[in-house]
Amino acid sequence: MDVQTAIESVKPERKQQQRSVITQQKLLDAAIEAFSENGFKGTSTRDIADRAGVHHPLITYHFKNKDQLWQAATDRIFREFNISLVKAMAEVPDIDPKAKAEAFVRTYLHYSRSQPALHRIILQEANCECGRMTWLVDTHLRPLFDEVHKSLSDLQEIGVAPPGSAAMLFNMIRVCAGGLIALKLELKQTSNIDLDCDDQIAELGDLIIRVFFPGEQPRLD
């Protein structure tokens, strides 16, 4: 086989791979939307295929079953959040823990707005004990809690964060950020709060920071 023939034989294979990746992304986008709206039990694979605009058998071709698709969709949500969080944290000096806390709050808010399923999927699975919730906690939620809990404890020691349970404080911050984003349609109608507005997202971040991080970081001499 000459070089030109070899190149021509590779082209269809690459196109097929590209189509496969695009199909997977469509299915994941549709699954994230459906699972966050209706939960695992209230979502059918046929509904996901219809939302994605692909043939139903392609779900089992790419993801085997609904459980695997849910896990892949959820994993993508939290993986992308972790990437954005790591990037934001890297831009803040380690010697400024209060600034890192502020960066966490604002990153959580902005990612939750761009991907409201981050909080909605947790709410959907938190209604009962199941293997999905256990997987979500072990894979994503517990590692995040452990990291932020330690940082909050350190901020309490230097007087930046208020005293009390650091675990409770972490979850209060998380609900104030992600929970309000998840309720943004209701907030707009009842309170005239538009969390799709950059200014109001910034104001919410400012309020959370003032409430939960009221102290000043000690100055280094």
Q: What is the pLDDT along the chain (221 residues), one digit of tens a residue?
A: 554 554 455 456 666 677 778 899 999 999 999 999 999 999 999 999 999 999 998 898 889 899 999 999 999 999 999 999 999 999 999 889 999 999 999 999 999 999 989 988 988 888 777 889 999 999 999 999 999 999 999 999 999 999 999 999 999 999 998 889 988 999 999 999 999 999 999 999 999 999 999 998 877 65
Chain-centroid distance of CA 34 in Å reads 15
Rounded Cα gap, residues 80 and 43, in angstroms: 23
Position 88 scores a pLDDT of 94
The number of residues making up the chain comes to 221
Position 10 scores a pLDDT of 47
- Supply the Cα-derived Rg of the chain in whole angstroms: 21
Domains parsed from the chain with CATH numbers: 1-64 (1.10.10.60), 74-221 (1.10.357.10)
Position 161 scores a pLDDT of 96
Position 193 scores a pLDDT of 95
Position 9 scores a pLDDT of 52
Spatial CB neighbours of 29, under 8 Å, sequence gap ≥ 6: 52
Q: How far from 210 is each of 84, 204, 207, CA to CA, in Å?
A: 23, 10, 5
Chain-centroid distance of CA 70 in Å reads 14
Position 218 scores a pLDDT of 78
Tokens of 99: 């600034």
